[in-house]
């Protein structure tokens, strides 16, 4: 059994890939275009033609696909074999046999593996490195793959103190439950927040917007609401950081922050785009 399989069996790791395999059933052109728009807006580039794009923890493969459609040479890898399969399926659907999109199984904690891939103009790892179990090591390895003058686009869970600690316990419980109990547990855990969202929509006369969230892709990244809930409740290992910690860590390694999204994210992800200093 693989190291990933052993961790899953012990209840120490969420199977992100199985979650993403279900997402592929609802993937459509609109969701892909939203993913493309997210990359264009955050990287402040109209296209990625001629650029090398590394997707660390490719998950569903959606953002690898978006980068490839924007013209990049894409190298995708993930630790979860189901995620690798999802990414390969998107490559098969949209760019069969393309030499400009490579998909591999690999770990963000394997410095030798990442070094073997070379340097990239864009290193992308959205909501991944805090699930490795060794976040700071993963961040250090990820930044090492950025070429001089290149960009690093990451998203890391916000540190909210005791609230983050409580969610770490919840996530660990989820992964130790029998598989058939997990959806009900995820729904029960998320129900208080969902109830608040429903009441706010009801009182504000925005019920249509509330129900649209369940039937249409999340506006910025194109993900489905239910898949996001399961991903959130089950997402373990789970580590967090403050925006200052992430900023200081990368500044010390020769990066300049070019774009930041950290306001009102609560327990969610702070989002950073850095550029490595150099020609």
Q: Which of 157, 142, 155, 153 is nearest to 253 (CA)?
A: 142
pLDDT of 109: 98
Query: Pairing mode, if any, of strands 146-157 and 269-276?
Result: antiparallel
Q: Which long-range contacts (CB under 8 A, 24 or more apart) does 186-192 make?
A: 186/229, 186/230, 186/233, 186/234, 187/229, 189/233, 190/229, 190/232, 190/233
Q: Name the percent of the chain lying above pLDDT 70.
A: 96
Average pLDDT over residues 41-60: 97
Average pLDDT over residues 212-219: 73
Q: What is the DSSP letter of 272?
A: E
pLDDT of 214: 83
Query: Pairing mode, if any, of strands 101-105 and 255-261?
Result: unpaired
What is the distance between the alpha carbons of residues 168 and 236, in angstroms, rounded to a whole number? Answer: 8
What is the distance between the alpha carbons of residues 108 and 178, in angstroms, rounded to a whole number? Answer: 28
Q: Please, what is the Cα angle at 21 between 49 and 78, to 5 degrees?
A: 55
Domain 3-159+239-276 CATH class label: alpha beta
pTM for the full model?
Answer: 0.88
Q: List pLDDT tens digits, range 72-82.
A: 999 999 999 99
Burial code of 216-253, b = ≥16 C-beta within 10 A, e = fewer?
ebeeebbbbebbbbbbbbbbbbbbbbebeebbebbeeb
Count other C-beta atoms under 10 Å from residue 73's C-beta.
20
Domain ranges of the chain: 3-159+239-276, 162-234
Q: Model confidence at 10, in pLDDT bands (50, 70, 90)? A: low
pLDDT exceeds 80 at position 56 = yes
Q: Model confidence at 222, in pLDDT bands (50, 70, 90)? A: low
Name, in order, each residue with C-beta under 8 angstroms of 46's C-beta and a sequence gap of 6 or more: 40
What is the distance between the alpha carbons of residues 230 and 217, in angstroms, rounded to a whole number? Answer: 15
pLDDT of 72: 98
pLDDT of 218: 62
pLDDT exceeds 70 at position 61 = yes
Q: Model confidence at 217, in pLDDT bands (50, 70, 90)? A: low
pLDDT of 277: 94
Average pLDDT over residues 38-45: 96
Q: Which of 229, 236, 134 is nearest to 175 (CA)?
A: 236
Q: List pLDDT tens digits, range 150-200.
A: 999 999 999 999 999 999 999 999 999 998 999 999 999 999 988 998 899
Q: List pLDDT tens digits, range 106-158.
A: 999 999 999 999 999 999 999 999 999 999 999 999 999 999 999 999 999 99
pLDDT of 266: 87
Query: What does the CA dihedral 181, 105, 223, 219 come to, rounded to 10 degrees?
Result: 150
| Mean pLDDT score of the chain | 91
What is the distance between the alpha carbons of residues 28 and 31, in angstroms, rounded to a whole number? Answer: 6
pLDDT exceeds 70 at position 16 = yes
pLDDT of 176: 94
Hey, which residues does 270 pair with through a beta bridge?
Answer: 156
pLDDT of 37: 96
Cis, peptide link before residue 38, omega less than 30° from 0? no
pLDDT of 14: 73
């Amino acid at each position: 059994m693989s190291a990933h399989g052993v961790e899953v069996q012990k209840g120490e790791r969420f199977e992100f890939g199985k979650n993403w395999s279900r997402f592929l059933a609802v993937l459509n052109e609109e969701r892909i275009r939203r993913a493309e728009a997210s990359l264009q807006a955050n990287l402040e580039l109209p296209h990625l033609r001629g650029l090398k794009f590394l997707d660390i923890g490719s998950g569903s493969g959606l953002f690898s696909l978006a980068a490839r459609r924007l013209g990049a040479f894409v190298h995708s890898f993930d630790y979860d074999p189901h995620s690798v399969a999802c990414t390969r399926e998107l490559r098969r659907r949209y760019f069969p046999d393309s030499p400009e999109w490579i998909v591999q199984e690999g770990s963000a904690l394997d410095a030798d593996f990442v070094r073997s891939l070379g340097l990239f103009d864009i290193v992308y790892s959205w909501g991944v490195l805090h699930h490795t179990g060794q976040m700071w090591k993963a961040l250090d390895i990820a930044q090492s793959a950025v070429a001089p003058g290149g960009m690093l686009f990451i998203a890391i869970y916000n540190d909210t103190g005791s609230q983050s600690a409580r969610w770490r316990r919840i996530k660990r419980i989820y992964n130790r439950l029998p598989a058939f109990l997990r959806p009900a547990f995820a729904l029960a855990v998320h129900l208080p927040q969902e109830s608040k969202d429903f009441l706010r929509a009801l009182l504000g006369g925005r019920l249509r917007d509330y129900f649209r969230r369940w039937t249409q892709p999340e506006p910025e990244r194109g993900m489905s609401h239910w898949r996001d809930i399961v991903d959130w409740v089950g997402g373990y290992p789970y580590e967090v950081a403050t925006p200052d910690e992430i900023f200081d860590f990368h500044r010390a390694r020769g990066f300049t922050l070019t774009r930041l999204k950290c306001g009102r994210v609560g327990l969610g992800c702070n989002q950073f785009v850095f550029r490595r200093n150099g020609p």
